[in-house]
Structure 1
Amino acid sequence: MKGYHMSIEATLEVIGGKWKCLILCHLETGTKRTSELKNLLPGITQKMLTQQLRDLEEDGLVIRNVYKQVPPKVEYRLSEYGKSISPILDAMCHWGKDHLEQAEKNRGHAKA
């Protein structure tokens, strides 16, 4: 286990970056196939999506189910542990909304 100076460093290591929080938000609404996640995340490459899902699975937040059929079917869902991050994601969404409103106000004041 790495040594951290602040516990938020551990949080950021698990959910940091551009895509992990977005993936987790989409999985909050239910189980998704890889192709569904790819469609929900414009701009993500298949390689990046696969890597981010592997990281989240390794950290215990996501469960990967593989169905032995042709073609193969793979689904991802939040683990019980992964569901514990929902309040953090919700708080980030609310803060982002407030931030966008504040930024808009700031732009309005700059024009005046």
Structure 2
Amino acid sequence: MPTKKITKNTERCALQEILGVIGGKWSMSIIYALSHRTMRFSEIERMIPGINTRMLVKELKNMENNGIVTREVFATVPPTVEYTLTAKGKKLNPIIDELYKWGEEYVDKSMS
């Protein structure tokens, strides 16, 4: 009986690409935090319980590289840095709102 060779699909699916952009553990929380206004780094950090400074820096850099947020530095002492959602980032708001509603309905609160 001849064996059939299994070939690996080298193309990544669109969902994997999307998760590469917004799939970080903290990405959706950051987008949610920025959904209503521009915020300074420390404001974002305070708004997201459990995130550490290093991880917030990493996630914001990734999101900036993917065109989700813009970073603006002001020449003050100490330097002030503000983050804003781009038009591309703002398009994620309704999706994240729906995920939040889904979580409220279906995620067991005792799991956390």
- TM-score in terms of structure 2 length: 0.83
Corresponding residue for 1:42? 49
Say whether 1:80 aligns with 2:87. yes
Unmatched segments (≥5 aa) in structure 1: 105-112
1:14 Cα offset (Å): 0.9
Say whether 1:54 aligns with 2:61. yes
2:63 and 2:24 map into 1 onto residues whose CA distance is 12
Give the % identical residues.
38
Corresponding residue for 2:30? 23
Post-superposition Cα deviations, 1:48-94, rounded to whole Å, max 9, x if no partner, equal 00000000000000000100111100000100111111121111111
Instruction: Give the greater-gyration-radius structure (CA).
Output: 2
C-alpha RMSD of the superposition: 1.5
Give the structure with the higher percent helix: 1
2:17 and 2:28 map into 1 onto residues whose CA distance is 14
2:73 to 43, 66, 74: 66
User: Displaced runs of 4+ in structure 1, greater than 2 A?
Assistant: none
1:3 Cα offset (Å): 3.4
